[in-house]
Amino acid sequence: MYEFVTGPLVWLSFGIFFIGLIVRTVLYIRGLDWRLDRVTYSENTSYGVRGAVRSILFWLFPYGTRSWRNNPWFTLWVFLMHVGLLLTPIFLLGHSILMRERLGFGFWTLPEGLADFLTILVMVAVMFLILRRIALPEVRLITSLYDYLLLLIAVAPFVTGYIASHGTPNYSFWIIAHVLCGEVFLIAIPLTKLSHFVLFFLSRAQLGMDYGIKRGGMKNKGIAW
């Protein structure tokens, strides 16, 4: 079972992940309206690129925008969660060993203590976001079971991986569960709202070009992001 989930299923998951994200990217770009977007973007490229870069950078760092600053605790936990979600799977020692076994190379690895710390941060951050959705009426109103399910899909690989790596007597069960949860996570990214993994950059670039060209960016030096 372990050989199957760490062999064919891994390749299938990564295939869906990469192909799905490419498809989402192509569909997003093709969906831009020629009359509203593409023509002015192609005619005023320098202003558009400048606006796109500003938009991405301002939203990519904590408290870089007014919206981030207006929700300081939410911003903190969102960024902590995303740091853990990105760094831990890529630079975890066990994942690097698996890569060397399957591909012949691996990445630089995180110290075990730091990997555990990031894993716990992800779990705490997800718990905070779930409680926030329950506690705040304005957030609860637009939250569905689907949103909770996505949070659980995102955190499941971290929970199962943490249990598997800390002396559980059922190691075989938990390591297989960990791999399967990771594969579900990979598959879900291009197929659900988790596709903001790449669509964040596309949408921020589009909005940045829009503000940089059509909403005063070509006339005014300052743009209130």
Higher-confidence residue: 219 or 5?
5
pTM of the shown model? 0.85
Level-2 CATH architecture, domain 2-213: Up-down Bundle (1.20)
Name the percent of the chain lying above pLDDT 90.
Answer: 45
> In whole angstroms, what is the distance from residue 23 CA to residue 156 CA?
26
Domain boundaries, the chain: 2-213
Q: What is the pLDDT of residues 148-202, one digit of tens each?
A: 999 999 999 999 999 998 877 888 999 999 999 999 999 999 999 999 999 999 9
Model confidence at 36, in pLDDT bands (50, 70, 90)? low
Grouping H, G, I as helix, E, B as strand and the rest as coil, residue 63 is: coil
Residue 204 has pLDDT above 80, yes or no: yes
Q: Give rounded-to-5 percent helix, strand, coil for the chain.
A: 80, 0, 20
